[in-house]
Structure 1
Amino acid sequence: MSNHPPAPFHDKVVFISGAASGMGKAAALAYAQQGAKLALLDINEYALILLVESLECEVLSFAGDISDEAFIVDVFAQIDAHWHRVDVAFNNAGYGVMRSVIECTSEQWDQVQNINLKGTWLCVREQLKLMYQQGSGSIVNNASVLGLTAAKGADAAYCVAKHGVVGLTKMAALESAEYGVRVNCICPASVNTPMLATMADDMLERLAQLQPIGRIACSEEVIAAVLWLSSEQASYMTGVALPVDGGVLAGINMV
């Protein structure tokens, strides 16, 4: 008989969107190592299948568009039917087009808002319905430092959507506290994900120089904050927009 205590997320049902790559994949691997059962969503079905095959925990997977309301309602109906609960959610799916206010088309604007903000809201709404019934739960939304400030040259639509995610987080936290549910968000700066990998080398170097800590974050560093926020160690934290930004929001570097 083992004397080791159970892993922090042993038998917890954890939902992750944007799960097949980047921070979502890092989160899936980390929660699986901590004993969780996983409900994984991503629009990239092939990448999602590869991830599921690499995991040794109980998994439900869903391939589809996070901004499709009927799809999201069905996802959580299936999670409810299978496990009858969701303990933790990491709403991570995101998308950007790198356009200024004047360059952004209506189609690009709608796509960015739908994936980053509407999709997150749809997931939070369905998660809260289940968590209210069970009287517990922890939600972590993936916002951005661009949810707390703006930056010249950044993606305008993405910045607006991530400000919305921060507002959604605070409203959901206030509404859900009496039901035993906590809602927080992380606000990372530049993270070494496939989204960043599409940028030119000189742009990546410039981004690294903008971080006071001197480099771009790796996904695992950000996910460490997600696991903490979603754990009982953060039991008194709700409504928080937590920068995980290498010092970006600390101030302007004049050197």
Structure 2
Amino acid sequence: MANKITLVTGASSDIGQAFIRSLLLQDADAIVLAHSFSGGSKIEGLQTEFGDRVVSLTADFSQASSVLAMADTILAVHGPPSAIVHLPALRLVYERFTKLKWDRLQADLAVQVQSAVLLLQRFLPLMAKMPQARVVFVLSSVVHGMPPKFLSLYTIVKYAQLGLMRALAAEYAATPVRINAISPSMVETQFLQDIAPVAVEMAAAANPLSRNARPDDLLGALHLLLSPGANYMTGVDIPIAGGTIC
């Protein structure tokens, strides 16, 4: 890629950490703009390991003004990224639809969808002028087939992201930008802290591989979608679900 700068939103997540470490170990020229809500020890740990190849960016993605301020900083200091991996999210909560709180749904839509809209409105016109550019959304297997019960909020948000991804893939298909997604089944990360352990265990038992996904299981597909190997792929959502989706 032209400038080897990858923006990772939600970089303090377990998936973000695994991906950043993998990318920087594989590509000595890569630079990562690591977004998180407030920085913290996880981003500092990456900076200790990789030095100035990791640039910490903080922004509250529930606030449009904070997202736009971050975008302005990126453009002023680094120029547009050549790749974006978008994976911010609020913690997963199982609850009946009748318990769904509209303000919580709006907050998650802001964090996962509004932030992507605002960032991509700023970056995509510039990325489209690069020789190669990539955007990858991290969705969920809930957008394939019938979703699990009691995940209406999560499912609504992920389908909104899927719609955004496919709309942008169609609009930018004539440019060098390739816009795709991955959809993992349950991944054992800090994202599940509010989920009962028995639910996590049941998901693992129901999987053909007899376990839930781990962050490292997502890396192969992420690297593929960011590589020249994805030059003829756009609008694609790759399920990573251990055989539960075929």
Q: What pairs with 1:40-119 in structure 2 (closer than 5 Å)?
A: 40-47=34-41, 48-95=43-90, 96-119=92-115
Q: Which runs of 5+ in 1 are unaligned?
A: 1-8, 251-255
Q: Of the candidates 211, 216, 231, which is equivalent to residue 207 of structure 2?
A: 211
Counterparts in 2 of 1:152 and 1:11: CA distance versus 1, 3 Å? closer
Counterpart check, 1:192 vs 2:188? yes
Aligned residues: 242
Q: Aligned AA for 1:144? A: S
**Contact 1:137–1:181 (CA under 8 A) maintained in structure 2:** yes
Does the residue aligned with 2:98 lie in a helix, a strand or coil?
coil
Q: Distance between the aligned counterparts of 2:105 and 2:125, measured in 1?
A: 29
**Contact 1:144–1:189 (CA under 8 A) maintained in structure 2:** yes
Deviates more, 1:141-150 or 1:74-83: 74-83
Q: Aligned AA for 2:77? A: H
Scaled by the length of structure 1, the TM-score of the pair is 0.87
Does the residue aligned with 1:248 lie in a helix, a strand or coil?
coil
Q: What pairs with 1:141-156 in structure 2 (closer than 5 Å)?
A: 141-156=137-152
Q: Distance between the aligned counterparts of 1:128 and 1:24, measured in 2?
A: 22
Q: Distance between the aligned counterparts of 1:67 and 1:119, measured in 2?
A: 8
Scaled by the length of structure 2, the TM-score of the pair is 0.90
Counterpart check, 1:22 vs 2:17? no
Does the residue aligned with 1:98 lie in a helix, a strand or coil?
coil
User: How far is the alpha carbon of 1:31 from its aligned partner?
Assistant: 1.4
Q: Aligned AA for 2:19? A: A
User: How far is the alpha carbon of 1:121 from its aligned partner?
Assistant: 2.4
Q: Distance between the aligned counterparts of 2:188 and 2:160, measured in 1?
A: 23
Residue in structure 2 matched with residue 201 of structure 1 by the alignment: 197
Q: Which runs of 5+ in 2 are unaligned?
A: none
Counterparts in 2 of 1:172 and 1:27: CA distance versus 1, 3 Å? same
| Identical counterparts, % of pairs | 22
Structure with higher RCO (Cα < 8 A, 6+ apart): 2
**Contact 1:173–1:184 (CA under 8 A) maintained in structure 2:** yes
